[in-house]
Amino acid sequence: MDDKQLLLLFTQGDESALTLLVERYQKELYGFIFRQVGNHADAADLTQKVFVKVFLKAEQFHGDSSFKTWLYQIAINQCKNHFRANDRQRLDDVEVESLPLVAEGNFELDLETEEHQRLLRQAVDKLPSKQRTTVRLRLYQECTFAEIAEIMTASVGTAKAHYHQAVTTLRKILKKEHYELPEL
C-alpha cells in the first residue's frame, strides 16, 4: 500500500496505517534530522515531534506532493524551530545567487575509508544552511532535485543551484585536507 493510501486510511480512523508510515520512515527521517542537529537526543525528540505533526495535521495533506516530501518539509521546519529555540543559527535563511546547474542523477560517493567519510561529514557541516540541507537530502536521503525543491519550497533550478554551489565548496574544503572529492 502506498503512503497516500495509508495516510487516507489514518484520516478515516485506522491508526495502524499511521504506525506503518512511522515504521516506513522513522529510521530514514531520524538519520536526516541527526545530520541536521548533530545530537542523538535532539534527533530522537525532533523525529517524534515530526510524527506528532503528521498525526495532528494528516487531514491537511492534500496529496499535491508525495508524503515523503511533506514529511521532510515538516522535519526541516522542526529543525528550524529547534535552532531558533536554542539560539543557534545553523539553518539560517541565507540566499545563494543563481549558479550554473549540474545534471540530475544519482549522487553516489565511493568513499574508501571512514576517515574520508568523516572528512566529508565535517565539510558538509561547514556549508551554509540551504546548501547543507540540499546535499544531505541528495546524498543521504537520495532525493531527486524535484523532491528537494518541494521539500525546501523552492524551484528545481534553485535546488540544483544550491547543490552545485555546495559541491564546489566541498571540493575546496576537502582539497585543503588533501582529499579530492570524486566526480559527482
pLDDT of residue 180: 61
Report which of 129, 134, 135, 127 is spatially closest to residue 94, judged by C-alpha positions: 129
Q: pLDDT tens across 31-79, in order?
A: 999 888 888 888 899 999 999 898 888 888 888 888 999 999 999 889 8
Total-model pTM:
0.59
Measuring CA to CA, how many Å separate 148 from each of 119, 136, 144, 170? 24, 10, 6, 19
Fold of the domain built from segment(s) 94-184: Arc Repressor Mutant, subunit A (1.10.10)
Task: Break the chain into its structural domains and give their ranges.
Answer: 3-85, 94-184
* CATH no. of 3-85: 1.10.1740.10
Q: pLDDT tens across 123-152, in order?
A: 888 889 899 989 888 888 888 888 898 888
